Structure 1
Amino acid sequence: MDLGLDGATVVVAGGGRGMGRAAARCFADEGARVAILARTQQDLDETVVELRQRGSPDAVGLVVDIRDDAAVTQVFADLDARWGGLNVLVNAVGPNVRGTVEDLSDDQWRVAFDDGVLGLVHCVRTALPLLRKAGWARIVNFAASSTQRQTVSLAAYTAAKSMVTSISKNLSLQLAPDEILVNVVSPGSVASDSLIAWARSVGVETTDPYALMSAITEHFGHPAHLPRVGLPEEIGPVVAFLASRRNSYMTGANINVDGGTDFT
């Protein structure tokens, strides 16, 4: 299926690793012009080489801390000078904060908010002028299935992701007259770096997706219907579709990619 992304301009915040990188790969495969934002140069460099090989010959990686509003403003000004507009913004950055409500410090709550919400707001607010002049535009934000089925040790993470869902729904209403579509992807348990690190902390050394789901079942008691965790490359195509011209009438939606749940 041709997603209509050939030549489209795409920014993936958090595109240097994990599900953000998987989404960036899909955009490159479709011939889009891709810029990825991350804090770590090494992650960017490795990903950019791959994106150029896959079909985005002028892919670029930009080191930026999206919590810094001035830095975000400069990055998007540079991209505006390079491209003259922006078709797609993907926000794949999330907080890595664990703990219960009573255990988390105020500073940890602030980190969760800054990493998981404020950076997204900076990117959206700064990108909107570029999106509005591009002719067609999409925003895809990453939330999480844990907003619908709670895990007590992810209190701040889930709160931040719940705010992402709410902000996205609000944006979908605000931007509907401009026909800028805004949607949310809510991954379930996916073999991300953070999930693998957690598994190692409880003695699971393998990255086998079935073993990882067994660990989740043992420690949290709410596995997916499928007997394994997901893979980042299973999230990327969903993001690419939502961000594409093929998606022409879906906005304000929250799409679970979670291996099956009892969500209503």
Structure 2
Amino acid sequence: MDLGFTGAATVVVGGGRGMGLATARCLADDGARVALLGRSRAVLDTAAADLARRGSPDAVAVVADIGDDAAVRRTFAELGERWGGQINALINTVGPDAAGTFEELSDEQWREAFDAGLMGMVRCVRAALPLLRNAEWARIVNFSAHSTQRQSTRLPAYTAAKAALASVSKNLSLQLAADEIMVNVVSPGSISSEALKGWAASVGVDGDDPYALMAAIDEHFGHPAHLPRAGLPSEIGPVAAFLASKRNSYMTGANVNVDGGSDFL
């Protein structure tokens, strides 16, 4: 399906690996220019080279700290200069690394969770809005998590930050409706990310086996999906890409679960 990305200017925050890279690949396959934002130069350069091979006419790796508002503003100003003062799609995939029970988490860990899980998105959207408003069409896609609806006692700060992100995204969809800028949320379920595979290894499970991974999740967390396996990043990318595309012309304010089946809406 032609998603309408040919020549479009797109930004994927956290696009160097995992679900962010899977999304960026879909954009590149459809002919989009793609800026990958992240912290690791080596990871980003490798990913950008992959996107160029896939057909992106301008795949660029941008090292940026989304915890630094001034750095975020500079980054988007530079992208605006590169791409004629406009951006068509902004996809925010970054999440916090904040595991621990309520009693275990310190104030600093709570602050870090909200800074990475919410405020990074806020800074990027705020800096990108003038460029999005300048474009013929524009979309924002933010990544939340299914743990906002199916709680884990090991993830209270992570879940709270992701729930806040979903709430702010809903508010943005209302505020930006007059500009016809669509804002949507993707809530992945148990996806075989590097972090999840790392956890699996720590409990003696092969994280590259999605069936074994889901069995371990069921045993340790009681969070099985209806399907008997974990998901793959490549199964998230196409959903996010559609929401970020010109083809999505009337869907905004939605929170889309991609979780292998669950007992919540």
Partner deviation per Cα, 1:174-205 (whole Å, 9 max, x = no partner): 00000000000000000001101111122214
Q: Which residue number in structure 1 is paired with residue 232 of structure 2?
A: 231
Distance in 2 between the 1:239 and 1:206 partners? 24
Poorly superposed stretches of 4+, deviation over 4 Å: none
Distance in 2 between the 1:111 and 1:5 partners? 34
Letter in 2 for 1:23: T
Distance in 2 between the 1:233 and 1:205 partners? 19
Q: How does 1:40-51 map to 2 (within 5 A)?
A: 40-51=40-51
Distance in 2 between the 1:77 and 1:166 partners? 27
- Figure out how many residues of one structure are paired with residues of the other and give that number: 264
Distance in 1 between the 2:207 and 2:240 partners? 27
Q: Which residue number in structure 2 is paired with residue 143 of structure 1?
A: 144
Distance in 1 between the 2:204 and 2:108 partners? 29
Distance in 2 between the 1:227 and 1:178 partners? 42
1:158 aligns with 2:159: yes
1:28 aligns with 2:59: no
Q: Which residue number in structure 1 is paired with residue 253 of structure 2?
A: 252
CA contact (8 A) 1:87 1:138 kept: yes
Structure 1 residue 222 displacement after superposition: 2.1
Distance in 2 between the 1:191 and 1:205 partners? 11
Distance in 1 between the 2:204 and 2:211 partners? 15
Distance in 2 between the 1:259 and 1:131 partners? 32
Q: How does 1:50-199 map to 2 (within 5 A)?
A: 50-84=50-84, 85-199=86-200
For normalisation by structure 1, the TM-score amounts to 0.99
Q: Which residue number in structure 1 is paired with residue 222 of structure 2?
A: 221
Letter in 2 for 1:196: K
Partner deviation per Cα, 1:226-255 (whole Å, 9 max, x = no partner): 000000000000011001111110000000
CA contact (8 A) 2:192 2:207 kept: no
Distance in 1 between the 2:16 and 2:38 partners? 6
Distance in 2 between the 1:79 and 1:230 partners? 33
Secondary structure of residue in 1 paired with 2:176? helix
Q: Which residue number in structure 2 is paired with residue 9 of structure 1?
A: 9
Letter in 1 for 2:161: A
CA contact (8 A) 1:139 1:180 kept: yes
Letter in 2 for 1:194: A
Letter in 2 for 1:190: I
Partner deviation per Cα, 1:149-171 (whole Å, 9 max, x = no partner): 10110111100100110000000
- Structure 2 residues without counterparts, runs of 5 or longer: none
Partner deviation per Cα, 1:42-67 (whole Å, 9 max, x = no partner): 11011011000001132000000101
Structure 1 residue 206 displacement after superposition: 4.1
